[in-house]
Structure 1
């Protein structure tokens, strides 16, 4: 399947890395979900993936059928089910993800702020902007240097 660059994406970030067994199980659940995901009876062209062991990404190409409130609710239900089954936090927007080399780390807001303060996280550190909304933004604006992210505005007083 080829997805349009304008396809909608939703990113759910875990507070801890999934084990390889968990990742396989979760992907099976998500594939079963996306294969039957509908909006007002119309099949949605959708896919799910896990990146870096932390990020569940749902993608829907709306050129076939538009996502509706009900279809979004059903996706939230499956994510909440995963959250409970695997004892992870997928909805806490105060967890910040960043990369050191190729390794992803997730910290709570206070710990992240401390790392910025003590210069463990610098203006060049890659951070994740989980608020991207399209596949194109996912590919171009999801992993960005701290200085080019919304994080820089929130933590500007520490730079």
Structure 2
């Protein structure tokens, strides 16, 4: 069952999917319509899930579910992954891209995972840069700490000062 994103509790479980490019307006509308129906019909072994989604930066989709209502099962999580495979096929967008997303105002700049160290060395990503991290603990963590500063994310290893 679809609920408004802002009505989900802080303990809601969250999944973040990043597209390899931004959606245009028509694609954004299509994704919203598709996901609203998919979340409305989402269930775990026949029990409806109280879930929602949010699109950020026209490129990142945040799915959340209140597991105190009904817990997501392996099958229901697989079903949600299937939504993104279907959307990828229909729109020609890769939702399983593993690039690092640097947040710059209202848009993202993507860096290939293997190019992150060089992007840091070149100053394209600093310790204070905001990164759209792919994982959060729950909705409270998402709201409080997303996007994260690079120094507070898994990228922190690139900002460790050398000791003598």
Give TM-score, length-normalised by structure 1: 0.91
Which residue does 2:130 correspond to in 1?
126
Matches within 5 A, 1:54-69: 54-69=59-74
Which residue does 1:37 correspond to in 2?
42
User: Does the 8 Å contact 1:97/1:105 carry over to 2?
Assistant: yes
**Are 1:142 and 2:146 an aligned pair?**
yes
In the aligned structure 1, how far is the partner of 2:95 from the partner of 2:145?
Answer: 21
User: Does the 8 Å contact 2:57/2:106 carry over to 1?
Assistant: no
User: Does the 8 Å contact 1:37/1:44 carry over to 2?
Assistant: yes
Give 4+ residue runs of structure 1 displaced > 4 Å after superposition.
156-159
In the aligned structure 1, how far is the partner of 2:143 from the partner of 2:25?
Answer: 24
User: Does the 8 Å contact 1:15/1:54 carry over to 2?
Assistant: yes
Matches within 5 A, 1:93-104: 93=98, 95-104=99-108
In the aligned structure 2, how far is the partner of 1:100 from the partner of 1:51?
Answer: 12
Please report the RMSD computed on the Cα atoms of aligned residues, expressed in angstroms.
1.8
Give TM-score, length-normalised by structure 2: 0.88
User: Does the 8 Å contact 2:103/2:129 carry over to 1?
Assistant: yes
User: Does the 8 Å contact 1:13/1:54 carry over to 2?
Assistant: yes
In the aligned structure 2, how far is the partner of 1:65 from the partner of 1:101?
Answer: 36
**Are 1:12 and 2:23 an aligned pair?**
no
Deviation at 1:92, TM superposition (A): 2.7
Segments of 5+ residues of structure 1 without an aligned counterpart are: none
Task: Please identify, of 36-45 and 109-118, the stretch whose mean Cα deviation from structure 2 is larger.
Answer: 109-118
Deviation at 1:110, TM superposition (A): 3.3
Which residue does 2:77 correspond to in 1?
72
Deviation at 1:151, TM superposition (A): 1.2
